[in-house]
Structure 1
Amino acid sequence: MEKAIQRQQEQEQLKNLIIEQSRIIIEEEGWSALSIRKIADAIGYSVPVIYKHFTSKDDIIEYFTKEGFELLATQLSNAIQTDHAAADKINRIAKAYWAFAFTHQKHYEIMFGLGIPTCEAIQTVSEKRQTSDVIYSVIAEAVTQSGRTDIDIHLKLKTFWSIMHGLVALELLSNNQKSIQPSDIMKDAIDGYIKSLIN
């Protein structure tokens, strides 16, 4: 029994080693440089050993994608813990989203490599759904507080995500913005978005 437990612990340690080495390669060289062979060489194991834990490079990418969405959902949730009006919460979520993209650029690149996820993709991955649910709940709260009945909350969710992803892609990823503080363009866009909900 002890040997089985020890073996399991060793396998878990090896999996963690693979993940951490993958993280180093991604941070230093980018996603395109990641390969099973490079990971194996870096940690001193054979390629088949890596395949026991991850069936392919795509499997490793999926791990980091889920990790990224879990981190994003947590940061967005933390941003709205205090008791504020819904409009203020939307601002806080936008700032938290920007800060996440700034501090976790490699995660963000792979999470949104093909643009914002579709509704179908959100429903099939729990980590994506958590992120979507946080944003949706705040938008729904703002709509309720406004008393309006003519707003499609799902549409407004997609609009919010499109605004944020577009600004991050244009300003932060392509222009290498160095400030964690949101740009004036983002502030202006979110102010306009909030007005579309509450006016």
Structure 2
Amino acid sequence: MPSTDRRGRERAERHQLIITAARELAEAEGWDAVTTRRLAERVEYSQPVLYGHFDGKDAIVRAVALEGFAELAAQLGRAQPDGPSLHGVCTAYLDFADRRPALYQAMFVLPTDLKFASDETPEPLRAAFGELVTALIGQTSFPELLAELLWSALHGLAVLTQSGRIPAAGQAQRVDALVERMSHHARARTTTGRQSR
């Protein structure tokens, strides 16, 4: 193997090691504990090596968030293997947020330069949103708009539950109510739209 290929592979491995260490540290101790000094110690590289991969903590959070969106898209996709499943997607989304709170924070709470609903939106973000849209296909003639509302509701439920503002025990009932209202609204709008043409 040429030395340039080996160096490239080693660089990619170091890059991933830093991201993984940041995720593990954040899940164990919170994002405040994730510093370049702590990460350098954890991965056993000097801080200059760390800065050779990332400009600082914000860049690390961005990389973690991108991984998170790819994982979220995969989980939402697995929730609807036989076609659109609004209930499956809602449950999978909230389960993802509950099981990976620090990752969810990196994706949706901590500041990053990731752009949503833009020509510059990275593919993992598009893929995750696309799974929300897929869950609504067949129920409405405007699945993208309804997917934004669905996402907003799920995000609110996730954050309120994580912060203890609403009890986790009622989450299944909230999902049932959300799915029922979204489905009812979508059917009503589709029927109204057809009658007005």
Superposition TM-score tier, normalisation by shorter sequence: 0.7 to 0.9
Q: Matched residue pairs, number? A: 185
Aligned residue in 2 for 1:127: 124
Matched, 1:169 2:159: yes
- What CA deviation, in whole Å up to 9, does each residue of 1:90-137 have, x standing for no partner? 11111111111122221111111069x975358512111111112113
Q: 1:142 is paired with a residue of what secondary structure?
A: coil
CA distance in 1, matches of 2:107, 2:66: 8
Give the TM-score normalised by the residue count of structure 2.
0.81
Structure 1 residues 94, 67: CA separation in 2 closer, same or farther (over 3 Å shift)? same
Write the letter of the residue equivalent to 1:158: E
Q: Match for 2:179 among 154, 167, 190?
A: 190
CA contact (8 A) 1:65 1:111 kept: yes
CA distance in 2, matches of 1:36, 1:126: 27
Aligned residue in 2 for 1:149: none
Shift of 1:168: 1.0
Structure 1: unaligned runs, 5 residues or longer: 145-151
Shift of 1:178: 6.3
Write the letter of the residue equivalent to 1:187: D
CA contact (8 A) 2:27 2:100 kept: no
CA distance in 2, matches of 1:120, 1:191: 27
Write the letter of the residue equivalent to 1:20: T
